[in-house]
Amino acid sequence: MTLKIRERTRARCRLLLQAMIWGSVPGIALAQSSPFMTGMTSLQANILSWLTPVAIILVMVLGGMAMASRMSWGWCIGAIFGIAIAFGAPQIVTWIRGMFGV
C-alpha cells in the first residue's frame, strides 16, 4: 500500500517539476498557437465581413420604415442591440474574460 502511495507521490512530483520547467520558459510554452483559435479567428472575420453589408442594409430599411411611419420602435432597438453585439463581440469577450481572470 505504501509503495503505491510513494509511486503516486513521485509521479506527481515529476509532473510538478516538468510544469515548473515549462512554465519558466515562456517563449517555448507560449510559442504554440492553437489551431482552434486560428479557425475561430478566421470564422469571426468571415462572419463580420458578411454581416457588414447586412447591417448597412438593415439600417437603410429601418430608416425607410421610420420615414413612412411603419416601424415598431422595438424592432429599431432590437436591431441596434444586435448590431452592437455582433460588432462588439471581441471586446465583450475580452471584458468578460478580464472579469474572471481567464
Tens digit of pLDDT for each residue in 4-39? 777 777 777 777 666 666 556 555 545 556 777 788
59-69 pLDDT, tens digit per residue, is 999 999 989 98
Stated pTM of the model: 0.55
User: Cell 448590431 identifies what position?
Assistant: 83
1 pLDDT more than 90: no
- For 3, 37, 40, 49, 92, the CA distances from 34, given in Å and listed in that order, are 39, 5, 10, 23, 21
Residue-level pLDDT at 26: 57
Cα dihedral 53, 56, 57, 63, rounded to 10, equals 180
